[in-house]
Amino acid sequence: MNYASLEDSNVDNVSVLSTPQQVKNDLPQSAASMRTVQHAREELERILDGEDRRLFAVVGPCSIHHPDAALEYAEKLKSLATAVSDTLFIVMRVYVEKPRSSTGWKGLINDPYLNETFQMDKGIRLARRLLLDVAELGLPAATEWLDTLLPQYIGDLVSLGVIGARTSEAQTHREMASGLSMPIGFKNATDGSLDAALNGMRSAMQAHHFLGLSANGLPASISTTGNAYPHVVLRGGREPNYTAEHIAECVAALARARLPRRIVVDCSHGNSGKNPRRQPFVLNQVVQQLEQGNRSIKGFMLESHLEGGQQAFPLEAHRVNPRCSITDACLEWTATERVLRETHGRLQRLFHAKAPALPRHERTPQ
């Protein structure tokens, strides 16, 4: 009997990666990067708690495919973040993994050279180096957690995490979220339904015990205490879900579930019909709701890059434009800066005006 046929019959190759601790030893935190991450997490918690009236804005490329271009973007974003800091707390979108419904490029970590060589050890190091560089600029980073082992490699450099529409329902991701040291957003399902996100929030707030990876690369039993800062991210579905009616429905659903009334609106994806030119319109609708007294909206997301649109992919590596998305189409930088400055001006006027009465559905029962 051939016992070898009982396992790995569909495995072509196994490449051993560096352990998380080895990667961190080679690319350690600096004093500046630690200050950025710690400060950002504290500020985000204050915003989510309602102690800080500002909104947080997650802004950046749909995915990172060229670290140098991403750092150029980060430098521009940091300058803008400073200018609008009294109304907006800006976090750069640094997405180094990409979920796929079927096939396609899975992100910087999976295939850093865009050529299907899948040099993941190099991809992990490139991602950590970029996150270090961004943090050392004083700019916090957000990412979507896809592979449950990855937080061991880069989690100390991430200020805000997101669980995507395809994984909000997964037990593994809810368990992981319960142990993450940062606020974590759960997106509604791709059909627009809220149940997966709300159940994800509830689960992430609880203690869990699950299998994981130690910093030294050993299989481990992980015990968590729960994450106090989950929130729901409305990203649209079969139809958009950013309108006042949708927000009110979400607030009511959170109240029924006895969950924190913390909502973030993703201005891209289903809410923009994947048309980046519609993102400013969606954001305008969000700000209008704030002007009308909404206090449950805590932040928003924009997909933006140095150049707008998207380029066809795959391409030969030498033909790829570093400054333009190879995944979802993005808003160009000039339009991004304009809409964020306009939002900043409107929020300044709102914050300096007399606070309107809260809508009835947002009032806290006495």
DSSP-derived 3-state class of residue 145: coil
Scan for tokens 């019959």, then name that residue. 9
State yes or no: pLDDT of 364 exceeds 80: no
Q: How confident is the model at residue 291 (pLDDT cuts 50, 70, 90)?
A: very high
* Stretch among 2-16, 63-77, 246-260, 267-281 having the lowest mean pLDDT: 2-16
Q: How confident is the model at residue 366 (pLDDT cuts 50, 70, 90)?
A: very low
- H-state helical runs in 50-119: 67-83
What pLDDT score does 360 carry?
52
* Stretch among 95-104, 196-205, 249-258 having the lowest mean pLDDT: 95-104
Could you give the CA distance from residue 355 to residue 353 in angstroms, rounded to a whole number? 6
What pLDDT score does 100 carry?
78
Could you give the CA distance from residue 348 to residue 54 in angstroms, rounded to a whole number? 10
Tokens found for residue 346: 């409107």
What pLDDT score does 315 carry?
83
Count of alpha carbons within 13 angstroms of residue 301, beta-carbon side: 31
What one-letter code names the amino acid at 34?
M
State yes or no: pLDDT of 358 exceeds 60: no
What mean pLDDT do residues 34-61 have? Answer: 98
State yes or no: pLDDT of 23 exceeds 90: yes
What pLDDT score does 359 carry?
53
State yes or no: pLDDT of 363 exceeds 60: no
State yes or no: pLDDT of 33 exceeds 90: yes
Percent of the chain exceeding pLDDT 70 equals: 95
- Average of per-residue pLDDT values in the chain: 95
Q: How confident is the model at residue 362 (pLDDT cuts 50, 70, 90)?
A: low
Residue-wise pLDDT for 81-102, tens only, equals 999 999 999 999 999 999 876 6
* Stretch among 22-36, 37-51, 110-124, 344-358 having the lowest mean pLDDT: 344-358
Q: How confident is the model at residue 354 (pLDDT cuts 50, 70, 90)?
A: low
H or E element, residue 209:
strand 209-213
Could you give the CA distance from residue 238 to residue 191 in angstroms, rounded to a whole number? 5
Q: How confident is the model at residue 318 (pLDDT cuts 50, 70, 90)?
A: confident
**Ordered structural domains, the chain, with CATH:** 27-343 (3.20.20.70)
Q: Considering only CA atoms, which of 266, 263, 267, 264 is closest in space to residue 253?
A: 263
- What's the pTM value of the predicted model, to 2 decimals? 0.94
Residue-wise pLDDT for 128-140, tens only, equals 999 999 999 999 9
Q: Do residues 51 and 69 make contact, with C-beta atoms less than 8 angstroms apart?
A: no
What pLDDT score does 365 carry?
40
Scan for tokens 């800066």, then name that residue. 337
State the DSSP code for 183: -
Q: How confident is the model at residue 203 (pLDDT cuts 50, 70, 90)?
A: very high
State yes or no: pLDDT of 317 exceeds 90: no
What mean pLDDT do residues 43-51 have? Answer: 98
Percent of the chain exceeding pLDDT 90 equals: 90
Q: Do residues 308 and 276 make contact, with C-beta atoms less than 8 angstroms apart?
A: yes
